[in-house]
Amino acid sequence: MAAKIISGTEVAKAIREELKVEVAELTAKHGIVPGLVTILVGEDPASQSYVAAKNKSAHALGIHSEQVTLDVGTSEADLLALVNKYNNDPKINGILVQLPLPKHINEANVLYAIDPDKDVDGFHPVNVGKMVLGEQCFLPCTPHGILELLTRSGVETSGAEVVVVGRSNIVGKPIANLMLQKRPAGNATVTLCHTRTKDMAAHCRRADILIAAVGVPKMITADMVKEGVAVIDVGVNRIGMSASGKAILAGDVDFETVKEKASCITPVPGGVGPMTITMLMKNTVQAAKMAAKLI
Ligand code: GUN
């Protein structure tokens, strides 16, 4: 079977079109312009390009966006003071502090200082706790994007065997949790595999839906999946450089061989990646509606 390719680029575009209409309506009917601030500490080129992409996307949707870049030597106290300033700024509905932070700054101290009502990354323990309890909250952007990809591609999760590979706080743990929630795009039976899992391949072969988020290029091979599996590949691994100096990317899944067995599969690039920023925009609009008591 040759797999259907799930295009995150296309799904993300459709969601951005919906958001554009929603933002225009919020502005026209209620005078609300959702606002996002991104805070970057240091000059890491990958982080710089992610932050630039977030601000560009916000701008294209009519979301007010502010971009703050701080010197790599900025103290934790100064960063906390800045977060606090934006916690109290009514123009700003969403605060995103780009990770990783320099070593001398305690990441948890900073993330926990963000007002949970402005935590559009969904990393604050209040939002993580609400997510686990199945309450209304900000969902972390990559898992949120995976839910949208599955739903909009017609992949049935209810009763499915979902195997998640990777237990990060940003992807593995939250997506495993969301998949088992009692609601649409949930109701799955979930297995979470990690570095200490015995016989990873045996677990993967049981999956109706396989979600790989490990950061090891092409780790999931065709012999590890069953015929007809739906594959979501979260990995973005740089495996080389093209002649023109562009990074060559590979997912965590060996796309060429696995696609011959899967019913559907996300490519890298163009799969989960484009969804993450779009879900940040969706969360920012949600934050603005919450602040205005519209939801
Ligand atoms: N660095 C890599 N991914 C992310 C993300 O989703 N949010 C933030 N804040 N930083 C990141």
pLDDT tens-place string over residues 138-188: 999 999 999 999 999 999 999 999 999 999 999 999 999 999 999 999 999
* Bridge partners of residue 164, in order along the sequence: 192, 211
Q: Catalytic: 48?
A: no
**Ligand 1, atom nearest to 96 Cα:** 9
Average pLDDT, the chain: 97
Q: How far is the CA of 260 from the centre of ligand 1 (A)?
A: 32
Q: For the domain made up of 30-118, give the CATH fold.
A: Rossmann fold (3.40.50)
Distance CA 161, CA 180 (A): 10
Catalytic-role residue among 118, 119, 121, 286: 121
pLDDT of residue 195: 97
Question: Is residue 292 pLDDT above 80, yes or no?
Answer: yes
Residue 1 has pLDDT above 80, yes or no: no
Question: Are the folds of 30-118 and 141-273 the same?
Answer: yes
pLDDT tens digits, residue range 6-16?
999 999 999 99
**Distance from the alpha carbon of residue 51 to the mean position of ligand 1, in angstroms:** 9
Strand blocks (E) in the chain: 4-5, 35-41, 64-70, 94-97, 161-165, 189-193, 209-212, 230-233, 237-241, 247-250, 264-265
The tens digit of pLDDT for each residue in 212-240 reads 999 999 999 999 999 999 999 999 999 99
| CATH top class, domain 141-273 | alpha beta
Task: Specify the residue for token string 């045996």.
Answer: 202
Which of 99, 111, 124 most suits a substitution to test ligand 1, by most atoms within 8 Å of the C-beta?
99
Give the per-residue pLDDT at 2.
Answer: 85
Quote the pTM value. Answer: 0.96
Q: Per residue in 36-85, pLDDT tens?
A: 999 999 999 989 999 999 999 999 999 999 999 999 999 999 999 999 99
CB atoms within 10 A of CB 119: 24
178 CA to centre of ligand 1 in angstroms = 19
Kindly report the protein residue whose alpha carbon is nearest to atom 9 of ligand 1. Answer: 98
What integer pLDDT is reported at residue 283 of this predicted model? 98
User: Cα–Cα distance between 154 and 77 in angstroms, integer?
Assistant: 47
Distance CA 106, CA 137 (A): 24
Q: Which of 187, 191, 154 is nearest to 176 (CA)?
A: 191
Q: Which residue ranges make up each domain of the chain?
A: 30-118, 141-273
For residue 273, the model assigns a pLDDT of 96
